[in-house]
Structure 1
């Protein structure tokens, strides 16, 4: 196990799960009819519904999907997020309002009331399941990835655990419990996101990255030698083929190596070496970080947080008060 569970995280997570499940069972006693289960008797305040909708958007699928789309397609991926936001408005007026007038709660029921066709009902059911499965995949992946560092459980345990909790919430009280849980989630996300923004603005941004080292500027032909900045260059071996854009340097403690990415400096014929990291899986299945076993022990190494501000507007090196 790579992650050490924190008892604070376990307590907070357990309290939140028990609170939401308990709320679902409490509200479930009020959902005695199909109208109560599917529409919460129409008694949920507009503000709660609005925050719950925001909670729907602030989901793992949205974060993973939109970030992936932007990473893969740039600005076009961002436009995709605007597209399904507008889609909610279309669905509200084109589908939700007519269904409300029909007195039906699901799309399949509305089609059945209009056409009375088994084929249409089957098509609606299959399409609903297909869309739900593809939407649930990133949700469950995000859930497992979150449980893993927080509680120290394997990824699959996190997926199963969150899946059971979600099923309990939906089965016990339907829309009323789902809406209130989404309201709580959306409120917490908005509040703590605002707190993080304030903290970031207060601390500011810096162009230097203390977690990683930078060597240079040095002459471009220095990487062809046997030493750089007094450190031995690790030659290629069976697990590492020579790469022109990377160079490996030995460590004083002998624990693996340090990997550096070769970048052009502002001066001509000079380069910068910025520290990076490598992850390797051996034939035996062992995971190595920069040539050392992965873990948190004294003879192990772990991936460090990546990402740093390389340049700020106006030539500044830091921001904040």
Structure 2
């Protein structure tokens, strides 16, 4: 559907709720062999000075054949440095009317000034749906933009859909409330106007939310009494273990890791702190969902960065730990990987 509905100059954004969903959709689109992967083009433009976005855009345009589209994958498994380069390249390509498909997690919903002709979004709370719609026809460059809301089925071997896995917690099904809201505004009959979604749907949705248990009344007391320390322990997202991985793609990245290791050996913690701050742009946080997960297996086989809580991937190309399109991979490590 995404490929077929992308015209010669049209841009399409598909937002998924999970990294796995975004990965599978990207892989499926790539299998059509009618795309030029912007992530792979970025690999050719990276050097010790970073990424030249102008050169990246020119490379993509020069590589595109007739009836081909640019393909961009965005998720938190990409290094922040690479993600920003891809986002800026995406913006410039859409402004040049280059046919493009972007597959992203929720990270693109806020703070990204890119306009797409069409947007697809896996079902989410109404406020997230409206945020996603804000990426469509953002500058009113066409008469009408179209946003399609879908509901992905549960992955094989599971019972929860990706939307439920991300948004339903503590007994409150925000996805169920979204479904009821869409029924209430007649969305099941077909297309609804933007005004209906941003006003009637939002109002109806929050009316349903207000009727549910919002949480402990003690939290309200903490707000009223300005108990910042206690409020600081709360999180809207469940806390889980994670491992920070410094992913080196250039000689400059590897020199930075060497400097970090040298600082640790010499107990120069100020220098280490400065170098670690520099490395944030090439660091990926890998969540560990359980100790028998592929993420945990990957983390166990990565090289520790000295006596720190960091891991390092010095030469990711050619290993199953890294993909030029999708970033830090969590496939089962191969035997060769364990000797690298």
Q: Same fold (TM over 0.5)?
A: no
Q: TM-score, normalised by structure 2?
A: 0.21
Of structures 1 and 2, the one with the larger relative CO (CA 8 A, separation 6+) is 1
Q: TM-score, normalised by structure 1?
A: 0.22
Structure 1 or 2: more helix by fraction: 1
Structure 1 or 2: more strand by fraction: 2
